[in-house]
């Protein structure tokens, strides 16, 4: 049986809980273990100025060891809080263009479009533009969209799998900051 012929769905992982990117990268590991080609595009992740540990997340350090894995990061060296700046919007435009190239190329078995749903929620890109790009994907390319605390029904409509990751409680609520090896 040709396993790669079963690829080609659109997945959406959203919600206020921790683990959306982690779930997508778990799927990347599964795909890489089967010899599939995986490409990761990260919206809104450009590190954090002055914090070296955020320049390269632990998962990227690990995944770079696979020859069938590649990635691109687009974002400013800061968290996006409030209204996006021109810099955020320009980085989002570049990330969307990279997503269009990767999804339509047929070069990858799986393309993870990390934080793209946050980019829509925060007004960096439009849901219409993201939907247009996803609809133009190669037929056998699996597309995994992550991010957003807000439900995006228009994107849910084009997805084959929609998972809401819901927070029950989080250490951050008790003042425990992000930790190496668990959050980055």
What are the structure tokens assigned to 129, written together?
Answer: 């533009």
pLDDT of amino acid 77: 73
**Domain-located, residue 46:** yes
User: Could you tell me the pLDDT band of residue 60, with boundaries at 50, 70 and 90?
Assistant: confident
**Domain-located, residue 68:** yes
Task: Output the average pLDDT for the chain.
Answer: 92
Structure confidence by residue, pLDDT tens digits, 63-108: 999 999 999 999 877 777 889 999 999 999 999 999 999 999 999 9
Rg of the chain, C-alpha, whole Å = 16
Query: Do residues 145 and 113 touch, judged by C-beta distance below 8 A?
Result: yes
pLDDT of amino acid 22: 93
The Cα–Cα gap between 47 and 38 comes to: 22
At a CB cut-off of 8 Å and minimum separation 6, what does 65 contact?
none
State the maximum Cα–Cα separation within the chain, in Å, rounded to a whole number: 50
Q: Which residue has the tokens 């409030």?
A: 82
**Domain-located, residue 8:** no
* Phi and psi torsions of 124, nearest 5°: -80, -40
Q: Give the structural domain span for 51.
A: 39-140+155-168
* Phi and psi torsions of 155, nearest 5°: -85, -35
**Domain-located, residue 12:** no
**Domain-located, residue 85:** yes
The Cα–Cα gap between 39 and 116 comes to: 14
pLDDT over threshold 80, residue 3: no
Quick one: average pLDDT of 31-56?
84
Which CATH number goes with the domain that contains 55? 3.40.50.300
pLDDT of amino acid 76: 78
**Domain-located, residue 65:** yes
Q: How far apart are the first and last CA of the chain?
A: 37
The Cα–Cα gap between 123 and 183 comes to: 25
State if pTM tops 0.85: yes
**Segments of 93-141 assigned E as strands:** 110-114
Structure confidence by residue, pLDDT tens digits, 144-155: 999 999 999 999
**How many domains is the chain partitioned into structurally?**
1
Structure confidence by residue, pLDDT tens digits, 113-140: 999 999 999 999 999 999 999 999 999 9
The Cα–Cα gap between 160 and 8 comes to: 10
pLDDT over threshold 70, residue 47: no
> Using N-to-C axis directions, what is the helix angle for 86-105 and 127-135, rounded to 10°?
20
**Domain-located, residue 43:** yes
In the three-class reduction of DSSP (H, G, I as helix; E, B as strand; rest coil), residue 147 is classed as coil
Quick one: average pLDDT of 159-177?
92
**Domain-located, residue 131:** yes
């Amino acid at each position: 049986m040709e396993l790669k012929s079963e690829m080609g769905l659109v997945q959406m992982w959203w919600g206020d809980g921790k683990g959306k990117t982690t779930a997508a990268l778990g799927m990347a590991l599964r795909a890489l273990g089967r010899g599939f080609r995986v490409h990761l595009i990260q919206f809104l992740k450009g590190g954090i100025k002055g914090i070296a540990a955020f320049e390269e997340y632990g998962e990227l350090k690990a995944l770079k060891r696979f020859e069938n894995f590649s990635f691109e990061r687009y974002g400013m060296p800061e968290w996006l809080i409030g209204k996006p700046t021109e810099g955020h919007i320009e980085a989002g435009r570049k990330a969307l263009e990279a997503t269009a190239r990767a999804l339509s190329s047929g070069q990858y078995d799986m393309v993870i479009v990390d934080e793209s749903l946050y980019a829509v929620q925060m007004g960096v890109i439009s849901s219409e533009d993201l939907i247009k790009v996803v609809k133009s994907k190669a037929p056998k390319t699996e597309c995994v969209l992550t991010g957003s605390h807000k439900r995006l029904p228009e994107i849910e409509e084009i997805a084959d799998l929609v998972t809401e990751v819901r927070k029950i409680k989080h250490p951050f609520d008790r003042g425990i900051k992000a930790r190496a090896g668990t959050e980055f």
